């Protein structure tokens, strides 16, 4: 499933590129993580279940890594 999600994300980026989409965008893939965004530093297990895939460890790492990127994205967009 991870490969399928990566291809789907890559396809979206390709389409945005082809359309000369004017806003910033990025597609990030976190190895072993599922398809969910959670709060950082909060136990993944308490926020969701197995429906979104990934391992608890990989999902926690992804949340911690993605959080600063998410804040930066909003900071840039709200200026």
- Per-residue pLDDT of 21-79, as tens digits, reads 988 888 888 889 888 777 777 766 665 567 788 888 888 888 889 999 989 988 988 87
The whole-model pTM stands at: 0.68
- The DSSP string of 26-62 is -----TTB-S----TTS-GGGT--GGG-B-HHHHHHH
pLDDT at 18 over 90: yes
Per-residue pLDDT, 7: 72
Residue 44 Cα distances to 16, 24, 30, 65, angstroms:
31, 28, 15, 14
φ/ψ of residue 33, rounded to 5: -85, 155
Tens digits of residue pLDDT in 2-13: 555 567 778 888
Parse the chain into domains and list their residue ranges.
Answer: 2-78
């Amino acid at each position: 499933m991870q490969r399928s999600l990566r291809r789907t994300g890559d396809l979206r980026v390709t389409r945005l590129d082809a359309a000369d989409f004017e806003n910033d965008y990025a597609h990030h893939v976190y190895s072993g993580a599922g398809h969910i965004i959670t709060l950082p530093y909060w136990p993944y297990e308490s926020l969701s279940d197995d429906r979104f895939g990934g391992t608890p460890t990989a999902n926690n790492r992804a949340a911690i890594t993605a959080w600063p990127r998410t804040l930066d994205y909003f900071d840039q967009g709200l200026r």
